[in-house]
């Protein structure tokens, strides 16, 4: 198997693992330990294979999941922040607003076209 194919297999394995673990804190260190590569090498490989930086991909996948939960459920924002590994509700609110241009509580009650910002799993 060529190095390129091996990198793709590794990245797709990591993508699956990230999806299974979105509700846990996913640091670059934790993901790189899982992959068996240094975090620097894994980040280069991930970017080359997906076009996304690893940290941005994880954050945007978590934000997409939270956005969907805001529309589908009445789960408190604090609960969602804790569930997806944000250190506080304020951190989630700031990060969410930077990505979707509105804070979570407004996103929940409005019919904004935020779906275009959703980052769906790359493996599926």
Does residue 109 register a pLDDT over 70?
yes
pLDDT at 73: 93
In DSSP notation, 93-110 reads: HHHHHHHHSS-HHHHHHS
pLDDT, tens digit, for every residue of 45-54? 999 999 999 9
CA 55 to chain centroid, in Å, comes to: 8
Q: How far apart are CA 1 and CA 23, in angstroms?
A: 33
Question: Same structural domain for residues 43 and 61?
Answer: no
Q: Pick from 22, 39, 54: which residue ends a domain?
A: 54
* Phi (first) and psi of residue 21, to 5 degrees: -120, 20
Predicted local confidence at residue 85, as pLDDT: 92
Could you list the residue range(s) of the whole structural domain that residue 88 is in?
57-117
- Please provide residue 89's backbone torsions phi and psi, each rounded to the nearest 5 degrees: -65, -35
> Is 34 a residue whose pLDDT tops 90?
yes
71, 111: one domain: yes
Q: Per-residue pLDDT tens for 45-94?
A: 999 999 999 999 999 999 999 999 999 999 999 999 999 999 999 999 99
For residue 24, the model assigns a pLDDT of 87
Same domain for 27 and 71, yes or no, is no
What is the average pLDDT across 1-15? 83
* In the chain, % of residues over pLDDT 70: 90
Distance separating alpha carbons of residues 33 and 79, to the nearest angstrom: 28
118 — pLDDT class (breaks 50, 70, 90) = confident
If asked whether residues 22 and 65 sit together in one domain, one would say no
Six-digit token string for 52:
């996304």
């Amino acid at each position: 198997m060529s190095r390129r194919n091996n990198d793709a297999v590794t990245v797709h394995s990591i993508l699956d693992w990230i999806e299974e673990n979105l509700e846990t804190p996913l640091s670059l260190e934790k993901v790189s330990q899982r992959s068996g590569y240094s975090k620097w090498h894994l980040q280069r490989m991930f970017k080359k294979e997906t076009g996304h930086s690893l940290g941005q991909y994880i954050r945007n996948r978590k934000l997409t999941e939270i956005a969907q939960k805001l529309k589908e459920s009445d789960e408190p924002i604090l609960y969602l922040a804790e569930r997806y590994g944000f250190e506080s509700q304020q951190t989630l609110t700031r990060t969410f607003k930077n990505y979707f241009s509105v804070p979570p509580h407004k996103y929940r009650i409005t019919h904004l076209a935020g779906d275009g910002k959703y980052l769906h799993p790359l493996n599926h």
